[in-house]
Amino acid sequence: MDLRLGEKYEAFRSEVRAFLREHWPLRGADAQLAPERQEKLFRERALARGYVYRGFPRLYGGSEQAPDALEDMILDQEFRTAGAPRDIRGIGPAMLAPTLLDCGSEEQRIRFIPPTLRGDLRWCQGYSEPGAGSDLAALSSRAVLDGDSWRIDGHKIWTSEAQSADYMFGLFRTEPDAPKHAGISYLLIDMRSKGIEVRPLRQMTGGADFNEVFFSDVRIPADSIVGRRGEGWKVSRSTLKHERNLIGDPRYLRNSFDSLVELARRSQRNGRPALEDSSVRQRLAEIEGYVCSQEYSGQRQFSAALRGQELATLLPILMNKLYSTDAMQRITRLAFDLLGGDGLVAPVAEEYGMASQLRTSGGWVAQYMFAIANSIAGGASNIQRNIIGERGLGLPRDPRAK
């Protein structure tokens, strides 16, 4: 594989580096602003230069650049090296906004995408339900069209960030007599609506990233539906595609592995840095093999996309999420072993979430436990294996429930 990019793209890389040297970190009075405001100001400048939200039209708050995967790759590399903020990675910008581009009405795109990309509108995802398990289509929360509004009753679970979200995108059964995968609609719900109750779920990490959400005679406008009535399953597949890509990002694996090596450098085995222990080095080498494989597979998928040959890499694309969550479990398992007695200390509040950056013992413990949950989020591993077998390898389909 020839990874050289050529003069045109190296010139683009130089242009991006010059921009970053000039604009990040912020200087003067701008540097005195709160960190969140600094990121927002910088992102506005990067947007004006066409460096963020490149796939979104300007009408919806993006920079409307012609598709160029190589420029995107260079921007990712250079922004990461500079530690500069690029596109917001939350489920709103990364999952809901592209779904609205695919399936939403023009009014929904104009109303929701710009504030979502700015970070002014926060979203949660209402998919999972008690009793449905990994079978998403077994949901029973219902929405009934009553005049000019939907009346919603039901119960969602494992809803991340529901306590702080402004809106939910979720699936609700609107045609109860239709076959299982039909009769479901995709709705956008204002979380301030009367009749919504959010209850946090305490996790084994000590944090409460997930919630239960109860709907009792909740009313939302009839135009809150994305796509056609009863075709929400089709819309949800667009969202799931973006969610799996988000979870399967090889950059997260590389960053986590680099943090693991640093932990091995700081940790002690028999009075010497654990990084010098042959058994630790063996496990690190094995894990880096998985990380490199994911990176190179990403390059292969990337090259195929550039040539318009995405179907040639269908199987690796289907494997991204499963492979990444498995590799992350290997990373955190070794980290937990390196922590020794420190692994028995419960993480504190600021170490619960993904923002811990794997700098502390508690942060690693939290990630060790969270890595298990990530194997379920966005499609459980057993479901992923079914998809790989059926769509990637052409194996017979599982019998479908009626």
What pLDDT, on a 0 to 100 scale, did the predictor assign at position 187?
98
**Per-residue pLDDT tens digits for 44-102:** 999 999 999 998 999 999 999 887 878 988 998 899 889 999 988 788 998 899 999 99
Contact call for residues 128 and 170 (beta carbons, < 8 A): no
Q: What is the mean pLDDT of residues 340-353?
A: 79
- Distance CA(326)–CA(329), nearest Å, equals 5
SS3 55: coil
- For the entire predicted model, the pTM comes to 0.78
pLDDT tens sequence across 106-131: 999 999 999 999 999 999 999 989 97
Position 352 scores a pLDDT of 67
On the question of pLDDT at 199 being above 90, the answer is: yes
In this predicted model, which residue has the larger pLDDT, 221 or 356? 221
Q: How far, in Å, CA of 247 to CA of 320, rounded? A: 8
| Torsion 289-290-292-297 (CA) sign | positive
CA distances from 15 to 6, 56, 72 (A): 15, 22, 13
Q: Mean pLDDT of all residues in the chain?
A: 88
**Average pLDDT, integer, range 251-263:** 90
pLDDT-wise least confident of 28-37, 87-96, 240-249, 363-372: 240-249
Residue 402 pLDDT greater than 60, yes or no: no
Count of C-beta atoms within a 10 Å radius of residue 178 = 12
pLDDT in tens, 126-165: 998 997 876 778 899 999 999 999 999 999 998 988 999 9
pLDDT interval class at 205 (50, 70, 90): confident
> pLDDT at residue 307 above 90?
no
Torsion angle of alpha carbons 119, 301, 373, 357, nearest 10°?
-60
Residues facing residue 226 across a β-bridge:
186
**Active site amino acids:** 243
Residue 307 has a CB neighbour count (10 Å cut-off) of 8
| Confidence bin at 318 (pLDDT 50/70/90) | confident
What pLDDT, on the 0 to 100 scale, is given for residue 22?
96
pLDDT greater at residue 6 or residue 334: 334
Q: What is the dihedral of CA 320, 1, 306, 299, to 10 degrees?
A: 20
Residue 245 confidence (pLDDT): 59
What is residue 355's predicted lDDT score, i.e. its pLDDT?
47
Tokens coding 116: 């979502």
pLDDT (0 to 100) of residue 80: 87
Cα maximum dimension of the chain: 74
In the chain, the percentage of residues whose pLDDT exceeds 90 is 56
